Amino acid sequence: MHISPKMESKLKWMLDDAYPVARQSVIYAEVVTGELNYSGIGELRDVLDHIQRALDMDNEEDALKELVV
């Protein structure tokens, strides 16, 4: 699949900037409470589902809608 520069830029922001913040938040909550933060993990799973759907789409406009935050 060919990824346009616009799609690549959006994915890069999500994975390089936003994901580490979300990941660290889940880890912090786990350390503070001493148990897994299932709500936070569920949110991360949902984000990854949106990314996967966007990558599977042939229409860039629809794919970018999946990545709206």
Which pLDDT value is given to residue 32? 92
Count: domains in the chain: 1
Which pLDDT value is given to residue 31? 93
Secondary structure of residue 37 in the 3-state scheme: coil
Average pLDDT over residues 12-26: 88
**Domain limits for position 55:** 5-66
Cβ partners under 8 Å of residue 25, min gap 6: 40
Q: Is the pLDDT of residue 49 over 70?
A: yes
Query: % helix / strand / coil in the chain, to the nearest 5?
Result: 80, 0, 20
What pTM was computed for the model? 0.71
Which pLDDT value is given to residue 1? 59
Give CA–CA dist 48/13, Å, rounded. Answer: 14
